[in-house]
Amino acid sequence: MKFSCLFNLKSAVILSLFLNFSIVSFSQTQDKPNDFWEHVRFGGGLGLSFGDGFFSGTIAPSAIYQFNPDFALGLGLNGTYNSLKNTYNSTIFGASVISLYNPIPEIQLSGEFEELNVNRTFDDNAFEDQNYWYPALFLGVGYRSNNITLGIRYDVLYDRDKSIYADPWAPFVRVFF
């Protein structure tokens, strides 16, 4: 009987503390509106390339959270399809984490870690089909004007044999709304 009385008292105290903190938390969210979505900006990239028997299409949406005017952190997705007639097809899917820092409003420094799954199939037997994960770590600098940044980035993990990019240096145009 003592045990059940003690258990009920403990339950009552825990329940009252939980309800008290819930009410305090709820009242704070009612007084101050949630402005999380006011700091989220959306952007991304679209790519289309074609030539003599070649086609490449990319879609890469992204979103960042603008912590303050100087710093933002976000996530991105990437999907690419490449085809060279009678040679190969590739599909590339992945995700990235990006950080942006503006030491002054016109200059934007960026760091982006990207992890891509590369799947290449070859039409002839000269090469073996490939399926592997490829990491990239880009460090970049750009000139920023409002929501558009033009710049260049460098992949410090570049591997000439596995990278989907022809060169570790890549120009970029970044737009966030």
- Which numeric CATH code is attached to 36-175? 2.40.160.20
Mean pLDDT by groups of 10 residues along the chain of 177 residues: 49 52 45 81 91 94 96 97 93 97 97 96 87 96 95 96 90 92
**pLDDT for res 127:** 85
**pLDDT for res 12:** 54
Contacts of 70 (CB under 8 A, 6+ apart): 101, 102, 103
Count of beta carbons in the 10 Å neighbourhood of residue 154: 14
Return the domain boundaries, the chain.
Answer: 1-32, 36-175
Tokens of 8: 């009920």
**pLDDT for res 3:** 44
**pLDDT for res 34:** 75
Q: CB of 174 within 8 A of CB of 148?
A: yes
